[in-house]
Amino acid sequence: MFKLIGIIFMLLLGLGQVACGSDDSKSKSDGGADGDTDGDTDGDTDGDTDGDSDGDSDGGTDSGSNTYDFKAAAPWYECPSEDFPKEVTVIEALHQVDHFITWGDGAVNARDLWEDVDFPAEGAWGQVGMWFKLECPKSGKCDFWDRYGSISLVLNPDDEKKDWKNIELTRFVTPYKVEMCQYIDVTPMAKYLSGKRKVHSFIDTWVGPGHANGDGWRVSVKFVFYPDTKAQTNEVVNIWKKRHINVGKLDEVADAGVDAGPPKLVSVDSQIDPVTVNIPADTKKVEAHMITTGHGFGYTNNCAEFCQMRQDIIVNGTIYSINPWRADCADNPVNPQYGTWKYNRNGWCPGAIAIGDIVDITDSVKLGEDNEIDFNILTASGDEYNDTSGNGGSPYEVISLKLYIYK
């Protein structure tokens, strides 16, 4: 729209110059110093100065190219109905792998699955999308319940399993008893989606074939690589892979059940040690990407699933606070579901990918030096959470945190 208005304005201006006796031959031939006709010096004809041909000024080829508009797809990121452009490279990482667990003789635990994947050689990718599809097993009997799951990348699959370095790509929570398909942006991980890797798929399901509450879930994952010669270079620092943090039991209370044993007193701070990260001197921007989902209810304030909790990323003493509360679960297009899918939750909705939050922390880092990254979880009002319900166990959050370092 703004370009059209600009073109009309320039046409009118040109007519005005002719009417006023201006030098018409000059107005037709005074292109930029690059020899084209747009008046700039970048070697293209789009009228901006960034050197690409898309007509915007961000240096990438998103406007008018075959990239995907993930922002427009937020917050539900439904899978696109159209085919992917011919120019992209599609890598199928997982194809209908079944997650379930069985009990007794011959028990099988398929909650965790790993697949070897050969990604393209490291190249210039303007975008990388991750296509995630969750289906019912072959029997058609999906797990009845909302289970949290995760897709991670093993960066060093040739090492012993105990030495594997895992980095979470995305978190999700299954819908109640129905299927879902979503497509998200994992472009910051492009450098690490290359060569021989191993993809880890996990669903916290507790059912399997023949169970009264369903037979489990089936997962498929594809990675879609969009070429762009102007892709940014970056590094990823994995502060934490996916981990559980109890959100707080500070007072000695009687646990439920005769055999529950003595209560375990635990604070968030006692579970977290600061991490030191050296930020290269040539860094232009640093972002922190946190994924958090709260689980457990029936505790004080119905935490950590049905209460609002504040997440603090602390960079060299500067606090960046995030409240990941989802207040839009009833709007989920994955419907109708069973159960309490319409109820709002801490960081997630049933039948949706938990994208997490990306925070620009550039102003608080020291370039070319070590930086301290710390973390805390508080109530939404900023107080330390204390479960005094006496219900046994503890409410908890599942957290992952990584830094994107752009040069």
pLDDT digit string (tens) for the chain, length 407 residues: 433 333 333 333 333 333 333 333 333 333 344 444 444 444 444 444 443 434 443 333 343 357 899 999 999 999 999 899 999 999 999 999 999 999 988 999 999 999 999 999 877 899 999 999 999 999 999 999 999 999 999 989 999 999 999 999 999 999 999 999 999 999 999 999 999 999 999 999 999 999 999 999 999 999 999 998 777 778 999 999 999 999 988 886 555 555 556 656 789 999 999 999 999 999 999 999 999 999 999 999 999 999 999 999 999 999 999 999 999 999 999 999 999 999 999 999 999 999 999 999 999 999 999 999 999 999 999 999 999 998 888 899 999 999 999 99
Which of 207, 231, 255 finishes a domain?
231
Task: Read off the CATH number of the domain in which 96 is found.
Answer: 2.60.120.230
The reply to whether 265 and 333 lie within a common domain is yes
- CA–CA gap between residue 339 and residue 318 (Å, rounded): 41
The structure tokens listed for 294 are 């709260």
The reply to whether 304 and 405 lie within a common domain is yes
The reply to whether 197 and 265 lie within a common domain is no
352, part of any domain:
yes
What are the two backbone dihedrals, phi and then psi, of residue 216, each rounded to the nearest 5 degrees? 120, -150
- CA–CA gap between residue 196 and residue 117 (Å, rounded): 6
For the sheet with 275-278, list strands across it: 275-278, 370-379, 309-315, 318-322
- CA–CA gap between residue 116 and residue 242 (Å, rounded): 20
4, part of any domain:
no
25, part of any domain:
no
Which of 187, 211, 231 finishes a domain?
231
The reply to whether 186 and 212 lie within a common domain is yes
57, part of any domain:
no
The reply to whether 213 and 263 lie within a common domain is no
Which of 197, 231, 265 finishes a domain?
231
Number of domains present in the structure of the chain: 2
Domain ranges, residue 298: 232-407
The reply to whether 290 and 365 lie within a common domain is yes
The reply to whether 216 and 337 lie within a common domain is no
The structure tokens listed for 257 are 């059940």
6, part of any domain:
no
The reply to whether 221 and 80 lie within a common domain is yes
- C-beta separation of 142 from 334 below 8 A: no
- CA–CA gap between residue 268 and residue 167 (Å, rounded): 22
Q: Any idea which residue has 């937020």 for tokens?
A: 74
The reply to whether 102 and 139 lie within a common domain is yes
- CA–CA gap between residue 80 and residue 98 (Å, rounded): 24
61, part of any domain:
no
The reply to whether 382 and 322 lie within a common domain is yes
The reply to whether 273 and 384 lie within a common domain is yes
46, part of any domain:
no
388, part of any domain:
yes
- CA–CA gap between residue 33 and residue 88 (Å, rounded): 34
The reply to whether 151 and 207 lie within a common domain is yes
- CA–CA gap between residue 264 and residue 229 (Å, rounded): 54
